[in-house]
Amino acid sequence: MAVSGQAAHFRALESLYAAAPINHKFESRLEILSDGVSRISFTIDEATHHAAGAAHGTIYFKMLDDAAFYAANSLVSDRFLLTTAFNLFLTKPIVAGPIIAEGHWISGKRRVFVADARLIDAEGEECARGTGTFMRSRIPLADLPGYRLPEQQRSK
């Protein structure tokens, strides 16, 4: 069954995420669940720790920013969005285990978008949350390596 329209855009965004060089450093998987909703699954281990033995804040930021970004970009099929601001609230240290970053679009559909995200641990507890603003860039999604619509993936 061919994937088209909105579902094709979601799969192409997932492909874009997987192709980004930074994501080769972190084992993680993006899913676009619906308009304005994303989920990133990843695992915290010692490789992401700071000197006191818990996940470094850069991991919190990266996963929260990515989840919020992709939730917002799921609503835009022609342009890549750029993060213009992001606020973090770290509420619980993460030492190890599976983590889910859930992203949700809040507002905006023209030039500026607002989305939030939260990190949830294996016990279902929130470890962090963040809210970001994202704006349309001049960069066409179709020009980015990795943004492949399903029919483009099959024709390779």
pLDDT in tens, 76-107: 999 999 999 999 999 999 999 999 999 999 99
> In the chain, what is the straight-line distance between the N-terminal and C-terminal CA atoms, in Å?
18
Specify the fold of 5-154. Thiol Ester Dehydrase; Chain A (3.10.129)
Beta bridge partners of 38: 32, 103
pLDDT over threshold 50, residue 155: no
pTM: 0.92
Q: What is the mean pLDDT of residues 105-118?
A: 96
SS3 (DSSP) at 76: coil
Q: What is the pLDDT of residue 27?
A: 87
Angle between helices 57-73 and 5-19 (to 10 degrees): 160
Of 141, 138, 135, the closest CA to residue 77 belongs to 141
CA diameter of the chain: 50
pLDDT in tens, 54-78: 999 999 999 999 999 999 999 999 9
